[in-house]
């Protein structure tokens, strides 16, 4: 890929490569857009097969965070960090402290939190070097792991979609196929189980799959079979790019709604879902619970306020559905428009000089 061409096409602000050989840190920070406020997005740790794969992932993730914050009505921009490494064996205190120094050097333009492959404990080490980190322990007066509220928000989005597709937002007796039983997937499964849904789960991690069966009574299938499961709702909760021209024709569901970021491999895949009569809950609409939770932390954490704000995802999804029906375009296109319009409106505001 031609990195600068890609950044110009999607209007990125900054891409930072972070290297500290003494602690084994190879990381990339992407800042997409700070029109609405500082860029907020997690630090992901993953054993990428190449630097190009890591660059593309961090760029796509940062852009998704911009859309997520804007559509959720937050005064935040979009950013992301990825650490190239295996989270099962390559972590160290020094690695995360070093990343914290690089984040500090950005002077507040990027705020981090946990993501795939990182934990609240890892954020504590980053906090040793910078204040620009969220998702710290509850005992510190912070919000802790955002995954529970992310799962709650996805469940609210699913219920709004169920109301549209089935005439009721009750999930009792509905079958939900969950792809990925990580932090978000497992929390979502708990909410769905309590709603009376039947779960089918896949995860590449055998231990995670075993927990899904024990905790939620889920039926387990292998990773390739999940696309062919007869279900009411398909819920991608692993990595991105899983909805594409190869997988969408295989789906046997009425709704797609999950916690993974960048579920559509191409923008046109949202149109393909619509053409198949599948209601798609745009990922950054329904998985915004985490960033909403973290935004509350930035101004003084109140768990009741955070949960109330995340519950509004139900209404946001209803609005997306209504606009998509009115304009006769896909929900994915509507979500993009809502996010883009709010940023464009902010760019029109007159700039005045403020002495600092």
Eight-class DSSP state of 11:
T
What pLDDT does residue 125 have? 98
pLDDT > 90? residue 317: yes
Q: What is the pLDDT of residues 80-93, one digit of tens each?
A: 999 999 999 999 99
What's the Rg (C-alpha) of the chain?
19
pLDDT confidence bin for 352, thresholds 50/70/90: confident
Is 80 tagged catalytic? yes
Eight-class DSSP state of 172:
T
Q: What is the pLDDT of residues 299-309, one digit of tens each?
A: 899 999 999 99
CA dist 1 → 5, 6, 54, 243, 273 (Å): 8, 8, 12, 21, 27
Q: Provide mean pLDDT across the span 241-270.
A: 97
* Identified catalytic residue from 68, 80, 159, 254: 80
Domains of the chain and CATH, by start: 3-66+76-133 (3.40.50.10860), 147-341 (3.40.50.720)
Give the largest CA-CA distance in the chain. Answer: 61
pLDDT > 90? residue 350: no
Q: What does the mean pLDDT of the chain come to? A: 96
Q: What is the pLDDT of residues 31-54, one digit of tens each?
A: 999 999 999 999 999 999 999 999
Comparing 299 with 170, the larger pLDDT belongs to 170
Q: What is the pLDDT of residues 97-134, one digit of tens each?
A: 999 999 999 999 999 999 999 999 999 999 999 999 99
Q: Provide mean pLDDT across the span 134-154.
A: 92
pLDDT confidence bin for 1, thresholds 50/70/90: confident
Q: What is the DSSP track for 81-136? A: EEEES-TTTS--HHHHHHHHHHHHHTTTSEEB-B-TT--HHHHHHHHTT-S-B---
pLDDT confidence bin for 282, thresholds 50/70/90: very high
Q: CA-to-CA distance for 245 and 226, rounded, in angstroms?
A: 16
What pLDDT does residue 156 have? 98
């Amino acid at each position: 890929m031609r990195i600068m061409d890609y950044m110009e096409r999607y209007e990125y602000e900054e891409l930072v490569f972070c290297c500290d050989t003494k602690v084994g840190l190879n990381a990339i920070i992407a800042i997409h857009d700070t029109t609405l406020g500082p860029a907020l997005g997690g630090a992901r740790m993953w054993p990428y097969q190449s630097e190009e794969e890591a660059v593309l992932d961090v760029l796509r993730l940062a852009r998704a965070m911009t859309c997520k914050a804007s559509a959720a009505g937050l005064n935040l921009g979009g950013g992301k960090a990825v650490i190239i490494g295996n989270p099962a064996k390559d972590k160290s205190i020094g690695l995360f402290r070093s990343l914290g120094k690089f984040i500090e050097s950005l002077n507040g333009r990027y705020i981090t939190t946990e993501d795939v492959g990182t934990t609240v404990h890892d954020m504590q080490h980053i906090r040793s070097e910078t204040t620009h980190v969220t998702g710290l322990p509850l005992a510190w007066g912070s919000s802790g792991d955002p995954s529970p509220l992310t799962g709650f928000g996805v469940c609210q989005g699913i219920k709004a979609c169920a109301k549209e597709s089935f005439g009721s937002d009750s999930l009792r007796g509905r079958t939900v196929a969950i792809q990925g039983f990580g932090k978000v997937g497992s929390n979502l499964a708990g909410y769905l189980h309590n709603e009376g849904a039947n779960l089918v789960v896949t995860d590449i991690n055998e231990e995670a799959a075993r927990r899904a069966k024990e905790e939620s009574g889920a039926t387990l299938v292998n990773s390739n079979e999940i696309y062919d499961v007869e279900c009411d709702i398909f819920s991608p909760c692993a990595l991105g790019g899983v909805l594409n021209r190869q997988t969408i024709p295989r789906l046997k569901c009425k709704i797609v709604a999950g916690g993974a970021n960048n579920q559509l491999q191409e923008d046109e895949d949202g149109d393909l879902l619509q053409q198949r009569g599948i209601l798609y809950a745009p990922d950054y609409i329904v998985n915004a619970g985490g960033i909403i939770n973290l935004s509350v932390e930035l101004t003084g954490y109140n768990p009741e306020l955070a949960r109330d704000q995340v519950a509004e995802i139900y209404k946001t999804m209803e609005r997306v559905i209504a606009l998509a029906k009115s304009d006769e375009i896909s929900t994915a296109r509507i979500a993009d428009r809502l996010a883009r319009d709010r940023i464009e409106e902010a760019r029109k505001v007159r700039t005045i000089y403020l002495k600092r």
